[in-house]
Structure 1
Amino acid sequence: MVAAAKWRHAELLQGRNVIRIFRHYLPKGLVILGLSEVFVLWGALYLGSQVHYGGFATHIHLAATSGRALLFVLVMWVVMTAFGLYKRELKEGPWGYFPRLVVSLALGFLMFCTLLPILPSLILPLPVLASVVLVALCGTILTRLLYLAVASRVAVHRQVLVLGTGRRARAVHVLAQGGCKRPGFHVVGFVPCGEWEDTNGPLVLRGDQSLADIARAHRVTEIVVGNRDRRQSLPINELLECKLAGTRVMDLTTFFERESGRIELESLNTSWLVFADGFDQGILKTWIKRAFDIAASIALLIVCLPVMAITAILIKLEDRGPVLYRQDRVGQNGRVFPLRKFRSMRVDAENGGTPQWACRNDQRVTRVGAFIRKVRIDELPQVFNVLRGDMSFVGPRPERPFFVDTLARDIPYYGYRHTIKPGITGWAQVRYPYGASVADAIEKLKYDLYYVKNNTLFLDLIILFQTVQVVIFQDGAR
């Protein structure tokens, strides 16, 4: 029973290059990369000590097998994760890993040295630590180079055939052309499905061949059903033949969920929401999340109290206005609650009375406000909303009632994001830039629905790690 439960939570998706852990899809290559670098960091203590001492003495062996190794690996790996080194894609492209790698190892080294005086039994001479970090840097760079080479080859072998030729189906090809920022897959072609389908467009394959013949000819590993009307036009017998032959068949919504970490609204049917796994909020899950929220909020409050005090003083000195800004937001089940933030705009920012989207280079933002918005310090007072129970630490960002009313009318499924508590940070915040329009709200909703469907403590931890790199690199700040 226990083994079966663990397998359900860590399902190896056969024929695909992803692993599903606690409902969250992770690229198999990144999982292997992360585990490989754990061993590289562990081995760096052995090799780094040998570089310094010139051989394996007894105390070197003890150094590498004791708590030093565990602490070193833990600190380095956490910092590397927080710097975004295990993201699916980087805005700088795959070669953007290496500057981040150097900085993260340097910062990890400083953090490790800071912790050693607190734990005297783990102290190693500073020259030894420098050698260890140098070996770790060389080892991780070689591991990354190998990963990039293998990932590019694996992507070529993922051959996808799309059933349908409409706009929804063509979106798969757009996703495949994501460029060098992400290892992807190759679309071998589109098969018309229905009398209104385009039979002459680019990559259209049908002819007189059956689906099974096309799959064999192009070595297809996966067929994605991209047409919306499946009552009469879906070639169910041909799809079954392909599935029995070992080719995976899946619907378009699930494919996008797996490949991009979001739920595409254009391909979404209400029936998919009903029958898909997820979207459940049990009592135990709610209590675990609440305990995590309280613990994380108290820890953040203790660590950031000096920063909050300095921020309050600077805001007051700049224009003598109030330090905190109170704003009504929509929470779980549509309940409105008062949210508090450090004030980052002028006191008269909305004198007209009509709420406005924040925009790039917004003239209403003060000088202190511009800085605290970039590094997300303005969000820190929301820990009190979390402690009160209005918000969770991780969840969809709460919007203002004025915008919610407008967006709920214009965007299908928008109200489903309010089935769970909003959060200080969220999946949409770490995966999409700052939202300042209806179009941005639609894109962020795709990520919010993914979180509502798949939220677990595991995904919350991933989001918290990625939030750190968002703050460091100021992604999407306005």
Structure 2
Amino acid sequence: MPRIRTLLLLAGDITILFASYLLVAWAITAWGGIWGIDFWFFLTEENSLAGITFVTTSVVLGLYFLDRYEKVRISSRRPLLEDLTLVFGITFLLQAFISYARIPLVLSRYLMLGGSVVAIFGLLYWRKFYSSLILQAFGRQRIIFIGDSPIVRVLARFILDRPECGFHIAAVFHPTPVAEFPGCTVSIPDESFLSKIQELTPDLIAVAPDLEANPDFMQDLLQCSMKGMAVKSTGDLYEDLLHRVSLETLSTKQLIFSPAFRPRFWVVAWQAIYGRVFAIAGLLLAWPFMILTAIAVRLDSPGPAILRQTRLGQGGIPFPFLKFRSMYVDADARSGPVRAQENDPRITRVGRWIRLTRLDELPQLINVLRGEMTLVGPRPEMPELEKRLLVDLPLYTQRHRIKPGITGWAQIHHEPEDSIASTARKLEYDLYYIKNMSPALDILTLFHTVKAVLLRIGAR
């Protein structure tokens, strides 16, 4: 459902952008006495249609880079107006650049100026309409939580903060009194529990993990299911909304018996094929940058340009992980094998720059070519760090079900790695990827990775 809502918002944006520039183009050509140009001739022979397509694509990408397809809810028009002004300003600069380069995608100054003004106001009112009317009044599903647990509270807070997810908390039932609950009071179920649920007419009933083994509740929920009500575990709902696999509800039994955690053969085979093709193309295109980077690393500090570090691959098998050295040679001797931190003193001057631009990751294309890694997958871990993490996260080794990747589902969500809690969230993202891996999910991950590289998100 959230993806459908995002696609609807995207379709509306594209429609308004095209309509705005076409309207202004029609107005310009309608004054034949001044311009003397036919509308269709203006669009085709003057390359205006191609230019409108280019501008529309630029604006949509700009809104995506500013997270305007994530931050759907609009409480004030001012932040949206600021973002639109920035996006259209950059688009004007792009038009100036392609005009200088004589690329036939330039709109006339009147069409560009007039169409942009109309488009800004059109997008403002469309997105406000979408936020207030579509998201808050149409299609919101009534949900009832049965039980209280940390995962239930995470879901409740997410639903309250993100009304665009399409849910409304109708009620919460728990066998014992609960002092506070996000956005709702908690009721204690009694003899009329089943009739109360029926009166609330929920679209979905979500059951907390600690009550799934309660026979009394299960009988009532069985009756609800027989009456056509949708009943789902909070673990499944957590996965649907947050795109992570909940460690709270994940059991060893699921990992052993569920086929979902055993990636399909054709997906793995296809990933290996396009991963190697991409690695070859990447090395052919990037070799000049790699040579310059290697020279800069050697000139900046003594030591090898490329670091060969032991990491754990598929099945927990160690392999030589390649990357351009961004730290001093004795970095691990100073502090031991630990992850990089903000303003880490172990990082060299050139190292700080290549980490920000992600140039240090380019040698991993060789790892992909050798079959030790793929483009997308869990990031490979150092054995020493994993050994320490297993004390608090016994399921951390489950990341080894597939090959590690240059980028991953956890990486594009930019979780820090400065605590066990944040590392647990990254593990939840990795398990979600393993469970749902597909070429489409890889493309989505790579698309978000490009955004992170360009905006230097998550680099240290």
TM-score, normalised on structure 2? Answer: 0.83
Aligned to 1:422: 404
Q: 1:280 to 1:98 in 2, by over 3 A?
A: farther
Tell me which residue corresponds to 1:150: 133
Q: Please say if 1:287 is aligned against 2:269.
A: yes
Higher helix share: 2
Consecutive unaligned residues of structure 2, counting only runs of 5 or more, are 32-37
Higher mean Cα deviation, 74-83 or 341-350?
74-83
Is residue 2:210 matched to residue 1:228?
Answer: yes
Report if aligned partners of 2:176, 2:188 keep a CA contact under 8 Å in 1: no
Match of 1:455, as an amino acid? M
Cα shift at 1:445 = 0.2
CA offsets 1:321-367 (integer angstroms, 9 cap, x no match): 43222211111121211122222222221125831222222121223
Q: Which residue of the partner structure matches residue 40 of structure 2?
A: 58
Aligned length: 448
Give the Cα separation in 1 of the matches to 2:55 and 2:228.
Answer: 44
Greater Cα radius of gyration, structure 1 or 2: 2
Is contact 1:343-1:378 (8 Å) kept? Answer: yes
Deviations 1:172-227 (A, max 9, x none): 334334478x75643333223xxxx4235442223436444333444432110103
- Going from structure 1 to structure 2, the CA distance change for 1:232 and 1:351 (only over 3 Å counts) comes to closer
The one-character-per-residue Cα deviations of 1:40-73 (angstroms, maximum 9, x if unpaired) are 2332441242354456612134378965555554
- Structure 2: how far apart are the matches of 1:460 and 1:255? 23
- 1:40 counterpart SS class: helix
Matched position secondary structure for 2:267: helix
- Match of 2:143? 160
Structure 1 residue 252: Cα displacement: 1.1
Q: Which residue of 2 aligns with 1:395?
A: 377
CA distance change for structure 1 residues 161 and 471 in 2, over 3 Å: closer, same or farther?
Answer: same
Q: Determine if contact 1:433/1:475 at 8 Å carries over to the other structure.
A: no
Q: Distance in 2 between matches of 1:136 and 1:110?
A: 17
Residue 4 of structure 2 is matched in structure 1 by 28
Q: 3-state DSSP class of the match of 1:235?
A: helix
Give the counterpart letter for 1:236 in structure 2. Answer: M
Q: 1:468 to 1:347 in 2, by over 3 A?
A: same
How far, CA to CA, are the matches of 2:282 and 2:95 in structure 1?
A: 20
Find the aligned partners of 1:302 and 1:102 in 2 and give their Cα distance: 38
Percentage of matched positions with identical amino acids = 29
Q: What CA deviation, in whole Å up to 9, does each residue of 1:290-333 have, x standing for no partner?
A: 23323433454455555444433433333244322221111112
Q: Equivalents in 1 of 2:228, 2:41: separation in Å?
A: 54
Q: Structure 2 vs 1, CA of residues 128 and 313 (structure 1 numbering), >3 Å: closer, same or farther? A: farther
Deviation string 1:3-26 (CA, Å, 9 cap, x unpaired) is: xxxxxxxxxxxxxxx1xxxxxxx4
Matched, 1:265 2:247: yes
Q: Which residue of 1 aligns with 2:176?
A: 198
In 1, Cα distance between equivalents of 2:58 and 2:268: 30
Q: Does 1:47 align with 2:23?
A: yes
Name stretches of at least 5 consecutive residues in structure 1 with no aligned partner: 1-17, 19-25
For residues 76-225 of structure 1, what are the structure 2 equivalents within 5 Å?
A: 76-87=59-70, 99-107=82-90, 124-125=107-108, 127-150=110-133, 153-154=136-137, 157-178=140-161, 183=165, 185-192=167-174, 197-202=175-180, 203-208=185-190, 210-225=192-207
Gap change, CA 1:432 and 1:134, over 3 Å in 2:
same
Give the aligned residue type for 1:314.
A
Aligned residues of 2:147 and 2:208 also touching (Cα < 8 A): yes
TM-fit CA distance, 1:88: 6.2
- Residue 331 of structure 2 aligns to a residue in which SS? coil
Distance 2:285 2:109 in 1: 27
> Which position in structure 1 is the counterpart of 2:34?
none
SS of the residue corresponding to residue 228 of structure 1 reads helix
Question: What code does the residue aligned with 1:468 have?
Answer: V
Q: 1:3 corresponds to which residue? A: none
Q: Which stretch shifts more, 141-150 or 272-281?
A: 272-281
Residue 109 of structure 1 deviates from its aligned partner by: 5.7
Question: Retained in 1: the 8 A contact 2:235–2:246?
Answer: yes
Which residue of the other structure, out of 301, 304, 316, is the alignment partner of 1:322? 304
Q: Which has the higher contact order (CA 8 A, sep 6+)?
A: 1
CA RMSD of aligned residues (A): 3.6
Partners of 2:314 and 2:405 in 1: CA distance: 10
**Alpha-carbon distance in 2 for matches of 1:200, 1:397:** 40
Residue 418 (structure 1) shift? 1.2
